[in-house]
Structure 1
Amino acid sequence: MEALGARLAAQYPSGIVYLQGELGAGKTTLVRGWLRALGYQGKVKSPTYTLIEPYDLSGRRIYHFDLYRLTDPHELENIGARDYLRPDALCLIEWPERGGSLLPSPDLWIIIEHRREQRRIRLDAMNTMINH
């Protein structure tokens, strides 16, 4: 999963990316590979309790969201999500279905299915005009 994240980092250094999959599917591991490829060397953890984990890499803003604990999409307003969902940032959003229609459309939607020892990964590029 880290290798896939690294490959995607080259194609999507900014934009909105949805990461959908069950608990333990590898979403945060994919994010770790993505961040490492962009130069981040620190610890990468799932922001399950903080909801948003910001990273600043040489002026590049990256936000890792984990919306698993949201019970209502309007909670996004309470955490100031609109301030983070900027066109110049990379927003990696786990559990996007919990954000409902309050999230912008993704540039890339990654769906991870984890069954036993195998993963099936589907990538849907929603915006082919992303500026790299």
Structure 2
Amino acid sequence: MTERFPDIEIYLMKAEAAAVKNWLNSALGELTEIKSGATCHWQFAGMDVFFTEQAEKNFSSLWFKQNQTPWLTDLDCARAAHAALGCEVRCSDSGWEEEEGDEQAGQGWIKLIRGEEKSFIWK
């Protein structure tokens, strides 16, 4: 059985804050807006959610600081986002583990695009 990740972060290609917030309102319940702008800060049931436009080239970051979502992992969340928003979504293929001397050793990614999932290395 997969363990619940302590936080979740996914990357959405060319996503708009309003569309992401609407999806999350449907998936989680009504979010409270704390801050809007290039980085949005929303809250739901004591969970902080951050949406940062242009976090990486054409990708926005969606980060659930505390994972109190219905999704156990980044990939579970990415699948839900891809289905709901129809945009390319990227996420880590595993939980983050710091290794001495190399913080991202073995770190791979999964790309969800046009209904398919593909492993790749994101540089």
* TM-score for both structures, normalised by structure 1: 0.35
Larger strand proportion of the pair: 2
Normalized per residue, the structure richer in helix is 1
Structure with the bigger RCO (C-alpha within 8 Å, sep 6+) is 1
